[in-house]
C-alpha cells in the first residue's frame, strides 16, 4: 500500500513537471494566453507583412485564421471552441452578433487612431456610436464589364442588364441580398425592402433576366472576366478592382439608381482572451501609413481618411471606388432583416436560381 502511494505521488509530481515544461515551451514560442492574438478574417484580406510588423513591434504572437462567409464565421464564434480575439464581420452580421450578445464593447480610449476614420463611415445604424466595431474596408456592389467584348455598350443603370443583346453574357454573384437587391433597385425600391408585393415584383423582373445570365458564381467570376470568358459581372467593388488589375480592359460602374454600401469591421468577440492586444492591433491597423499599405495590397476602399495622403493619387481619385457624395447618398447599408424576412429573400433567390432560361 505504501509503495502504491509513493507511485501515485511520483505520478502527480511527474505530471506537474510535464505540464510546467509544456507551458514554458508554449510561452517561449509565443503561445501563452497573454502573448498571443488570434485573428479571424476573410481570406487574402490583409498584407501579411503587417502581421509580422505588429509582432515585431509588440512582441505579441499572431495566430491568423480565415473564413469564407459571415455565416461560417458566426457559427464558429457561437460554438466558442476557439478563443478568437478579433473578427472581421460585415455590417449586417455585426447587428446580429450584437443581438446575440457575442461581442464586447470597445474601449475607445485605447484607440487614439480612431480619429483617422472618415466621419461618413462612423455611427451607422448597424452599430450606433461604434460601440462594438471599427471600419476596416468598405465598398459597393456594381457592374464590371469589358468594352472590348461589348462595343458601343455603356452601363449607367441596373436596367441596362435587361438588354436582349446581352443574352448569355452576365455573371451574377451568388448572394441573395445582392441579386434580390439589384432587382429591387432596378424598380426604384430600397434594397432593404420588406414589402412582399415589392419583393414579388423584383422576383418576377429577375426571372425575365435569366436569358442574359451566363452563370451565378462565387470567386470564379474574377477568373472568367480576367480571361475574357465573360463580358459582364455583377459583383463587389473589391473583386472588380482585382479583375481590373489583371485585365486593364475591364471597367466598373455603380448604377445611378443606387446600390449596396457595405462595410467589413473589426470587432472583439466574447471569446477574447487577450483584450489588451486586440485593442493594440485595431489601433495599429488604424495608423494612416499602415492602413495605406494594407489598402494598396487588398485593393478595397479604405475608410481611413488620413491614409489617403499616403496612397497612390490615381487610386484615391478613382470615383469608381471612391464615389462622390452625390452617389454615396443613394447607396444603402444592408439592414438586419430578421430571420423570417431573410429566409424569404433566400427562398426568392433559390427560386430564381432554379428558373430555367
Q: Are residues 184 and 228 in the same domain?
A: yes
Contact 269, 96 (CB under 8 A): no
| Residues 129 and 79 reside in one and the same domain | yes
Whether the pLDDT of residue 351 is over 80: the answer is yes
pLDDT tens figures, 151-170: 989 999 999 999 999 999 99
The whole-model pTM stands at: 0.79
Is the pLDDT at 348 greater than 60? The verdict is yes
Domain that includes residue 51, residue range: 35-137+263-316
Domain presence at residue 19: no
Q: How many helices (H) and strands (E) are present in the chain, helices listed first? A: 13, 9
In this structure, what C-alpha cell is assigned to residue 10? 511520483
Question: Is the pLDDT reported for residue 23 higher than 60?
Answer: no
Helix (H, G, I), strand (E, B) or coil at 350: helix
Q: Are residues 101 and 199 in the same domain?
A: no
Q: Does 198 share its domain with 346?
A: yes
Q: What percent of the chain has pLDDT over 70?
A: 90
Contact between residue 263 and residue 165 where contact means Cβ atoms under 8 Å apart: no
Same structural domain, 226 and 345: yes
309 assigned to some structural domain = yes
Label residue 29 by pLDDT band (50, 70, 90): very low
| β-bridge partners, 62 | 37
In a domain, 11, yes or no: no
Shared domain for 198 and 337, answered yes or no, is yes
Instruction: Give domain status of residue 17, yes or no.
Output: no
Q: How far apart are CA 230 and CA 221, in angstroms?
A: 8
Q: Which CATH number belongs to the domain containing residue 277 in this structure? A: 3.40.190.10
Give a three-class secondary structure readout of 233-291.
Answer: EEEEHHHHHHHHHHCCCCEEECCCCCCEEEEEEEECECCCCCHHHHHHHHHHHCCHHHH
Separation between Cα atoms, residue 200 and residue 352, nearest integer Å: 11
Residue 136 in grid coordinates: 476596416
In this structure, the answer to whether residues 192 and 333 fall within a common structural domain is: yes
Determine how many CB atoms are found less than 10 A away from the CB of residue 75. Answer: 11
Q: What is the pLDDT of residues 32-79, one digit of tens each?
A: 356 999 999 998 899 999 999 999 999 999 999 999 888 889 999 999
Q: Are residues 247 and 345 in the same domain?
A: yes
Determine, yes or no, domain membership for 345.
Answer: yes
53 lies in some domain: yes
In a domain, 23, yes or no: no
Say if 28 falls within a structural domain: no
With beta carbons less than 8 A apart as the criterion, state whether 88 and 265 touch: yes
The domain total for the chain is 2
Task: Kindly state whether residues 276 and 256 are assigned to the same domain.
Answer: no
Same domain, 128 and 144: no
Q: 267 and 154 in one domain?
A: no
**Residue 5 CB burial class (10 angstroms; 0-12, 13-18, ≥19):** exposed
Q: How far apart are CA 294 and CA 163, in angstroms?
A: 39
Q: Is the domain of 51 the same as that of 72?
A: yes
Pair 39, 64: CB distance under 8 Å = yes
> What digits encode the pLDDT tens for the residues 249-303?
999 999 999 999 999 999 999 999 999 999 999 999 999 999 999 999 998 999 9
Amino acid at each position: 500500500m505504501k509503495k502504491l502511494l509513493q507511485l501515485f505521488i511520483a505520478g502527480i509530481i511527474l505530471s506537474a513537471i510535464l505540464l510546467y515544461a509544456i507551458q514554458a515551451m508554449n510561452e517561449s514560442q509565443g503561445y501563452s494566453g497573454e502573448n498571443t492574438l488570434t485573428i479571424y478574417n476573410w481570406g487574402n484580406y490583409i498584407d501579411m507583412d503587417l502581421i509580422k510588423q505588429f509582432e515585431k513591434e509588440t512582441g505579441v504572437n499572431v495566430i491568423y485564421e480565415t473564413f469564407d462567409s459571415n455565416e461560417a464565421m458566426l457559427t464558429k464564434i457561437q460554438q466558442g471552441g476557439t478563443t478568437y480575439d478579433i473578427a472581421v464581420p460585415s455590417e449586417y452580421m455585426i447587428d446580429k452578433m450584437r443581438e446575440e450578445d457575442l461581442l464586447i464593447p470597445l474601449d475607445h480610449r485605447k484607440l487614439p487612431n480612431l480619429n483617422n476614420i472618415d466621419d461618413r463611415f462612423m455611427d451607422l445604424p448597424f452599430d450606433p456610436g461604434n460601440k462594438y466595431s471599427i471600419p476596416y474596408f468598405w465598398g459597393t456592389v456594381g457592374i464590371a464589364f469589358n468594352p472590348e467584348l461589348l462595343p458601343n455598350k455603356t452601363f449607367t443603370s441596373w436596367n441596362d442588364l435587361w438588354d436582349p443583346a446581352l443574352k448569355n453574357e452576365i455573371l451574377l454573384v451568388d448572394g441573395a441580398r445582392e441579386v434580390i437587391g439589384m432587382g429591387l433597385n432596378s424598380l426604384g425600391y430600397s434594397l432593404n425592402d420588406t414589402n412582399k408585393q415589392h419583393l414579388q415584383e423584383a422576383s418576377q423582373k429577375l426571372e425575365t433576366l435569366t436569358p442574359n445570365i451566363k452563370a451565378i458564381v462565387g470567386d470564379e467570376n474574377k477568373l472568367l472576366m480576367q480571361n475574357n470568358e465573360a463580358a459582364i459581372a455583377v459583383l463587389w467593388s473589391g473583386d472588380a478592382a482585382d479583375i481590373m488589375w489583371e485585365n486593364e480592359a475591364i471597367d466598373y460602374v455603380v448604377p445611378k439608381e443606387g446600390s449596396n454600401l457595405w462595410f467589413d469591421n473589426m470587432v472583439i468577440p466574447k471569446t477574447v482572451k487577450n483584450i489588451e492586444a486586440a485593442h493594440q492591433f485595431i489601433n495599429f491597423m488604424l495608423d494612416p501609413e499602415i492602413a495605406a499599405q494594407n489598402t494598396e495590397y487588398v485593393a478595397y476602399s479604405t475608410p481611413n481618411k488620413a491614409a489617403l495622403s499616403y496612397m497612390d493619387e490615381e487610386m484615391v481619385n478613382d470615383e469608381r471606388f471612391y464615389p462622390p457624395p452625390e452617389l454615396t447618398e443613394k447607396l444603402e447599408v444592408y439592414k438586419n432583416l430578421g430571420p423570417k424576412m431573410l429566409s424569404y429573400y433566400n427562398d426568392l433567390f433559390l427560386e430564381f436560381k432554379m428558373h430555367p432560361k
